[in-house]
């Protein structure tokens, strides 16, 4: 399981790097940025915009902190160990660090036309997208180990995916990010979340034959 998580994290990181290379070269994905931004502007309405602002706030640092604590603390108390809290803290702290470094390296200008939000830092990648996916992956991994039914597992995956997707798309809707900023943030956040789960995965000791020192049962010969 640990090996699969590591490989998945490597693939996600490779996707983030590929998006960055595409943006630098003005490739196919980068050409989708302007149409996606126009689609977001066209979708705006007085009733929808407050909802999208709420979603984007939920994907911010404070929103992620509240969500992470609401899930990780009960899981830690139930399991009587700090692993859920430590993993969640890793996602909360690691995502801004990774996205911040990438922002400085790429130094991409944010959209300037019809932007409802204009944060001062560079655009690529989206910190909201990075953080929401990293947290979603970690919390989903923790919750999947705590539930037993298929319906509950499906609900966990659906909720985690919907949260991450909604937060990312809200950034395009508000004009705070290009679509490729969000795509790279999703991939980078997934890489971080999967890496954290891989680090926490414990190797299970193989079940071997019974030791010869075990006393024989009645009627059993050695």
Flag whether 122 is in a domain: yes
What confidence score (pLDDT) does residue 114 get?
Answer: 80
Distance CA 147, CA 135 (A): 18
What confidence score (pLDDT) does residue 202 get?
Answer: 62
Flag whether 215 is in a domain: no
Query: Has residue 209 got a pLDDT over 80?
Result: no
pLDDT in tens, 64-110: 999 999 999 999 999 889 999 999 999 999 999 999 999 999 999 99
pLDDT in tens, 11-25: 999 999 999 999 999
Distance CA 66, CA 155 (A): 20
pLDDT in tens, 140-180: 999 998 888 999 999 999 999 999 999 999 999 999 999 99
Q: What is the mean pLDDT of the chain?
A: 90
Flag whether 127 is in a domain: yes
Residue 30 DSSP label:
G
- Domain count within the chain: 1
Q: Note down the domain range covering 41.
A: 2-200
Distance CA 136, CA 193 (A): 8
What confidence score (pLDDT) does residue 117 get?
Answer: 85
Flag whether 108 is in a domain: yes
What confidence score (pLDDT) does residue 207 get?
Answer: 38
What confidence score (pLDDT) does residue 118 get?
Answer: 84
Flag whether 21 is in a domain: yes
CATH number at residue 98: 1.20.144.10
Task: Say how far residue 179 (Cα) sits from the centre of its chain.
Answer: 17
Flag whether 143 is in a domain: yes
Distance CA 69, CA 218 (A): 54
End-to-end CA distance of the chain: 37
More confident residue, 113 or 15: 15
CA atoms within 13 A on the CB side of 13: 14
Distance CA 131, CA 162 (A): 14
Flag whether 98 is in a domain: yes
Flag whether 106 is in a domain: yes
Query: Has residue 219 got a pLDDT over 80?
Result: no
Q: Is the pTM higher than 0.75?
A: yes
């Amino acid at each position: 399981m640990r090996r699969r998580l590591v490989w998945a994290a490597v693939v996600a990181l490779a996707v983030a790097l590929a998006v960055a290379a595409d943006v630098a070269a003005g490739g196919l994905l980068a050409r989708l940025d302007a149409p996606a931004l126009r689609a977001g502007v066209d979708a705006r309405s007085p009733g929808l915009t407050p909802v999208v602002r709420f979603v984007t706030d939920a994907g911010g640092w404070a929103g992620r902190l509240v969500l992470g604590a609401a899930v990780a603390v009960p899981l830690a108390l139930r399991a009587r160990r700090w692993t859920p809290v430590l993993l969640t803290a890793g996602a909360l702290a690691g995502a801004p660090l990774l996205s911040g470094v990438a922002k400085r390296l790429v130094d991409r200008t944010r959209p300037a036309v019809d932007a409802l939000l204009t944060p001062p830092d560079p655009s690529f990648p989206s910190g909201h997208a990075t953080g929401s996916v990293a947290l979603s992956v970690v919390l989903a991994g923790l919750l999947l180990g705590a539930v037993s039914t298929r319906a509950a597992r499906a609900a966990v995956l659906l909720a985690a995916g919907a949260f991450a997707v909604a937060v990312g798309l809200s950034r395009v809707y508000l004009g705070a990010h290009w679509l490729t900023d969000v795509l790279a943030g999703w991939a980078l956040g997934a890489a971080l979340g999967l890496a954290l789960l891989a680090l926490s995965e414990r190797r299970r000791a193989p079940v071997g034959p019974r030791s010869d020192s075990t006393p024989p049962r009645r009627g059993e010969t050695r």
